[in-house]
């Protein structure tokens, strides 16, 4: 069990006669930072050991996703793919089904490509070189730094959004954290102060500070922060102004009508195209625009009575889907269905769809409706 020296955890008093550089601020706080992390760090499943495979998958899953939401997916993933070679050999559809609900499905495709390279080139073992890790598909500088430092103790930075927020406040930087130049500048700063032997803990301590203390979307918990005495934003009253972020562009709104089409107790789904948004995943039949019940019935060329479904909204990074829909019992198998440019429809039981076909959580409201209608809960 880690026991800090009685002095290591003490906050330092910076000199009053001059302004500290960013490097000096980080160096002065490095002891308290490491002591705080080793004492207060969260108990997370990917921290149980330094297996680079587990670290890699956890870091990819945690992109754009909350820690608590990731945990069940993490356990499920390693039940399906305990070794890198298992992931490399898995059919893409099995992987996407396992990933269902996490979103950003290009992440799953990239980890499969990387697993194939690791299996073919490295016999299923992670290379211990930062450059070789960085060269793998879907791995950027942050993920490569996290794997290299945590698994192999290489003194390389792992700077993500949490760390950029912490560093911007500690150093009093007004650089836009959404710019690559700012990220590179902060990576260089961390590279100057990170120490061999504690690189993994140092990077995780910065990440943990951003997640637990210097939090997004709320006032930082400065009184609990290991950077309390050296933080420029705290001492200068700038915590509400930093970090600086360019406002995001407004998302495009797309309206859709979802049609849950039932024929002989089977529901229609179809596979989306192999490129673009939600590529190669399965969806319910849907058409652009918000249709009335009469308009929806007319599309199907049958005498049917559409039953209204709940409205739903799903937010992607650059677009929002605003959805309404109808449940429709068809009297006969249709020759064609509206919007089939994505692929021909398959009529399957809801149980088959739930167990075998990856339907993204963009349709979560309609999946829940079918769960209630046919029984069962989503995994």
What are the phi and psi torsion angles at 267 (to 5°)?
-110, 140
What are the phi and psi torsion angles at 260 (to 5°)?
-85, 100
Contacts (Cβ under 8 Å, ≥6 apart) of 308: 293, 324, 325, 326
Catalytic, out of 59, 100, 187, 208: 59
Q: What is the C-alpha separation between 323 and 363, in angstroms, rounded?
A: 9
SS3 259: strand
The distance of Cα 218 from the centroid of its chain, to the nearest Å, equals 20
Q: Identify whether 59 is a catalytic site residue.
A: yes
Half-sphere exposure (Cβ direction) of 348: Cα atoms closer than 13 Å? 17
Q: What is the C-alpha separation between 165 and 147, in angstroms, rounded?
A: 21
Using DSSP bridges, classify how beta strands 319-329 and 252-263 pair: parallel, antiparallel or unpaired: parallel
E-strand ranges in the chain read 252-263, 266-271, 282-288, 307-315, 319-329, 345-348
For the purposes of burial, counting CB atoms within 10 Å of the CB of 71, is it exposed (0-12), middle (13-18) or buried (19 or more)? middle
SS3 247: coil
Contacts (Cβ under 8 Å, ≥6 apart) of 128: 148, 152, 154
Catalytic residues: 59
């Amino acid at each position: 069990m880690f026991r800090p020296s009685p002095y290591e955890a003490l906050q330092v008093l910076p000199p009053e006669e001059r302004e500290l550089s960013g490097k000096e601020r980080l160096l002065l706080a490095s002891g308290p930072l490491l002591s705080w992390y080793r004492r207060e760090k969260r108990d997370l499943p990917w921290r149980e050991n330094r297996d680079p495979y587990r670290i890699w998958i956890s870091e990819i899953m945690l992109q754009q996703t909350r820690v608590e939401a990731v945990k069940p997916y993490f356990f499920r993933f390693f039940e399906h793919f305990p070794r890198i070679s298992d992931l490399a050999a898995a059919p893409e559809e099995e992987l996407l089904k396992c990933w269902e609900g996490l979103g950003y499905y290009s992440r799953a495709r990239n980890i499969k490509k990387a697993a194939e390279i690791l299996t073919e080139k490295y016999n299923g073992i992670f290379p211990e070189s930062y450059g070789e890790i960085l060269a793998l598909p879907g791995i950027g500088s942050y993920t490569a730094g996290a794997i290299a430092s945590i698994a192999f103790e290489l003194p390389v930075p792992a700077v993500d959004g949490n760390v950029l927020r912490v560093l911007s406040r500690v150093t009093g930087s007004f650089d836009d954290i959404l710019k690559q130049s700012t990220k590179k500048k902060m990576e260089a700063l961390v590279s100057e102060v990170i120490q061999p032997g504690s690189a993994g803990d140092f990077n995780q301590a910065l990440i943990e500070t951003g997640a637990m203390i210097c939090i997004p979307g709320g006032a930082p918990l400065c009184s609990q922060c290991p950077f309390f005495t050296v933080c420029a934003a705290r001492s200068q009253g700038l915590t509400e102004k930093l970090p600086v972020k360019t406002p995001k562009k407004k998302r495009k709104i797309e309206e859709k009508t979802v049609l849950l089409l039932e024929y002989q107790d089977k529901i229609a789904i179809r596979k989306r195209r192999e490129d673009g948004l939600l590529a190669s995943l399965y969806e319910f039949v849907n058409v652009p625009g918000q249709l009335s019940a009469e308009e929806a019935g007319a599309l199907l060329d049958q005498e049917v009575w559409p039953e209204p479904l709940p409205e739903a909204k799903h937010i992607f990074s650059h677009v929002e889907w605003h959805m309404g829909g109808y449940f429709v019992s068809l009297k006969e198998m249709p020759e064609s269905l509206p919007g089939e440019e994505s692929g021909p429809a398959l009529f399957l039981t809801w149980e088959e769809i739930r167990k075998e076909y990856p339907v993204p959580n963009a349709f979560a409201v309609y999946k829940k409706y079918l769960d209630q209608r046919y029984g069962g809960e989503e995994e």
